[in-house]
Amino acid sequence: MEHFQDKVVYQIYPKSFFDSNGDGLGDLPGVTAKLDYLRDLGVDYLWLTPFFPSPQRDNGYDVADYRAVDPRFGTMQDLETLIREADRRGIGLMLDMVFNHTSTEHAWFRRALAGEKKYQDYYLFREGGPDKPPTNWVSKFGGPAWQYVPALGKWYLHLFDVTQADLNWENPAVRAELAEILRFWKGKGIKGFRFDVVNLISKPAAFVDDDRGDGRRFYTDGRNVHRYLQELVAAGGIGGMITVGEMSSTTLENCIGYTDPANHELTMTFSFHHLKVDYKNGDKWALMPPDRSQLKALFARWQEGMQAGNGWNALFWCNHDQPRAVSRFGDEGRYWKESAKMLGAAIHLMRGTPYIYQGEELGMTNAHFTAISQYRDVESLNYYRILQQQGETEAQALETLARRSRDNGRTPMQWDAGPNAGFTTGTPWIGVADTGKTIHAAAEVGDPDSVYSFYKRLIALRKERRVIQSGRIAFLFPDNPDLLAYRRWDAQDELLVLCNLTGHTVPVALPGGWQNAGVLLGNYPDAAPGKTLRPYEVLALER
Ligand code: TEU
C-alpha cells in the first residue's frame, strides 16, 4: 500500500518517554524497555524525535552530527538493539531528519566559521555591515532571522534559533551529503523518515525585505522544493519507505504535489492549519477558544481536497510542539474520558495515516505549570520575555504559556502513580504534569473502558476494516459547528462518523437509512443511533 493506509505511527520524544538509568533524561534503552507496551497497543512504526549529538538548544532539533547517538540518549549499540527488538515485534523505526538547518556546533558550520569557503557554501552567508541584516525576516522563535559573524564580516540565515543555521540546498554538495545520511540509516535497518520543516528548504534566488510579513512567503514551499525532494528520495534510496514531511504554513496544492505517488516525493504530510483555529488573528500567542466552524471546514477541505488530488494526509492532534489535545479541544474535567476518546476517533476514522503522540493514548493533559522556572523550551522562554515587552503582565504571560507552550507536550510520560509518574528514579529534566497521579498507563492498560483501550480498538479497527484504510470520504452538516460528521465508503462497506465537539447535548438529524444502522464504535456504554448526541459523544455507525 503505497500510502501506508493500514498503518499507525506512534511518536516518541525520547527525552520524556522512559529513563532507564536514573539521570532524569529518557533514553534509547528506555524505549526498548517499553516495546511490549507499544506492541500491545498495536502500532506499526515508531517515529523517534532526534537523539543525535546536539547541544540541545532546541531539544535535539539542533543536530551536530547526523550519524551518531548523543551519549545522553545511549550508544549506537543501544540503537541497534532497539531496531532489532522492535523488528522482532513487527515494529519499524522512523528517524527524524532535520535537514533545513544544522546546529552551529556541526563540523560543517565550524569549518565555515574557520574560513573554509567550501563549508561557507553549505550555509546561507551574506556579506554586509554589522548594523544591517541582509533582510528584515523574523525567526520562527522570535527576533531577527540573521546573525552577524564579525570575524567573517558576514551574516548567516537562521529561520529558527540562532544556533540552527539554515543549509544551502542550492549547493549540490549539500544535497549529496544529506542523501548519504539517509543511506547510512537505511543500512542500519531504519524503516522510514520524518523530515523536519522540509517545505522550507528551498530559498529564493535573491534575498529581499518582506514588507508584508516575516519573510515566510519567500521560502515556504519554495521554488525548487519538489525537485529537491524527488532528488533526495531517489539519491537516498528511500522510495517505497514510509516518509512524512512536516510542512510549515503550507498549501493544499503543494501537499498534493508532495504526496501524489506519481511524483515520487513523500508518502504523507503534516499540515497545521487545523491546529491554528485557536490562534487569534493567526497569532499563536493570542488566546482564543477553538473556532469549531473553522476546524470543521479545514478538515473537510484537507480531507476531500487531498482525496481529489490523490494526496495523503498524516492525521494528528498532538506532537512535541503542541499543547495536549484533550486540554485544548476537549474537557480536562467532567468529560475528560469522553472527550479524549471522541478526539481520537474523530481523526483515526478519517482518510489518512494516524499518528499517536506518546501519552495521547492515555488522555494526558497539559502540564499546568505556574512559574517560569518550570519551563525549558527555548521558544517559551523567548516569548515569556517578548510578551512582557509587548505589554502583558507576568501573570498574563504565564497564562499564555500555560495554554500555548510546547512544553505541555514534553512533560514525562505517565507510566504509574509512583514518584515522577514512573518516568525516572532521578530528577526529571522537566516536571510531571499535575495529572500524573491520576492519568497513567498502569491504571489504563487493563481497563476495558480506558482511553488506552479505546485507542487500541481504533488501531485494531483500521486493520480490520478496509473502508477505514482506503474508503472514500465526504463531510456532512457543514453549517453545524457543533457536529463533526463524515461518511466513509467503498464497494462493500459504509460508515457514518458523528462527533459532538461540545460539552452539551446536540441534536442530530440522521441522514436517510441510518436510523437503524449498527454501532461500530461509541464512547458511551449504551451507544445507539438516535436524535441527539451527548456531550463529546462519538458514534461510528455501519451499514
Ligand atoms: O517545528 C517546526 C515549527 O515551525 C513549529 O512547529 C514550531 O514549533 C512552531 O511553529 C513554533 O510556534 C519543527 C520541530 O518539530 C520543532 O520541534 C523544532 O523546534 C523546529 O522544527 C526547528 O527544527
Is 78 part of the annotated catalytic residue set?
no
- Residue of 197, 271, 380 with the most ligand 1 atoms within 8 Å of its CB, for mutation: 197
Q: Whose CA is nearest to atom 10 of ligand 1?
A: 140
Identified catalytic residue from 196, 278, 321, 407: 196
Here the CATH number for the domain that contains residue 153 is 3.90.400.10
In a domain, 466, yes or no: no
pTM (2 decimals)?
0.97
- Residue of 13, 16, 61, 380 with the most ligand 1 atoms within 8 Å of its CB, for mutation: 61
Q: Looking at the 3D structure of the chain, how many domains does it have?
A: 3
Pair 367, 391 in one domain: yes
pLDDT value, residue 2: 67
Pair 222, 322 in one domain: yes
How far apart CA 266 and CA 10 sit, in angstroms, is 18
Pair 373, 511 in one domain: no
Q: Whose CA is nearest to atom 8 of ligand 1?
A: 321
Is 196 part of the annotated catalytic residue set?
yes
Pair 59, 155 in one domain: no
> CB-based burial of residue 368 (10 Å sphere; 0-12 exposed, 13-18 middle, 19+ buried)?
middle
Set of cell numbers at residue 133: 541584516
Domain, as residue range, for 434: 2-102+171-459
In a domain, 455, yes or no: yes
Q: Write out residues with Cβ below 6 Å of ligand 1.
A: 58, 61, 98, 140, 160, 196-197, 246, 248, 284, 320-321, 379, 406
CB 317 within 8 A of CB 340: no
pLDDT value, residue 6: 97
Give the chain's residues under pLDDT 50.
Answer: 1
Q: Whose CA is nearest to atom 4 of ligand 1?
A: 248
Task: Determine the atom of ligand 1 nearest the C-alpha atom of 406.
Answer: 8
Residue 55 alpha carbon to ligand 1 centre in Å? 17
How far apart CA 269 and CA 129 sit, in angstroms, is 40
Here the CATH number for the domain that contains residue 431 is 3.20.20.80
DSSP 399: H
Pair 257, 276 in one domain: yes
Task: Determine the atom of ligand 1 nearest the C-alpha atom of 58.
Answer: 19
Task: Determine the atom of ligand 1 nearest the C-alpha atom of 62.
Answer: 23
Query: CA torsion sign, 50 to 52 to 56 to 62?
Result: negative
How far apart CA 392 and CA 397 sit, in angstroms, is 6
| Of residues 44, 20, 41, the one with CA closest to residue 31 | 20
Q: Which of 138, 166, 194 lies at the terminal end of a domain, its last residue?
A: 166
Pair 95, 115 in one domain: no
Query: CA torsion sign, 326 to 277 to 353 to 49?
Result: negative
Concatenating the DSSP letter of every residue in 113-137 gives HTT-HHHHTTBTEEE--TTS-SS--
In a domain, 465, yes or no: no
Identified catalytic residue from 19, 44, 246, 407: 246
Query: CA torsion sign, 197 to 293 to 346 to 435?
Result: positive
pLDDT value, residue 128: 86
Pair 118, 69 in one domain: no
Residue 518 alpha carbon to ligand 1 centre in Å? 42
Here the CATH number for the domain that contains residue 538 is 2.60.40.1180
At 316, the amino acid letter reads: F
pLDDT value, residue 3: 75
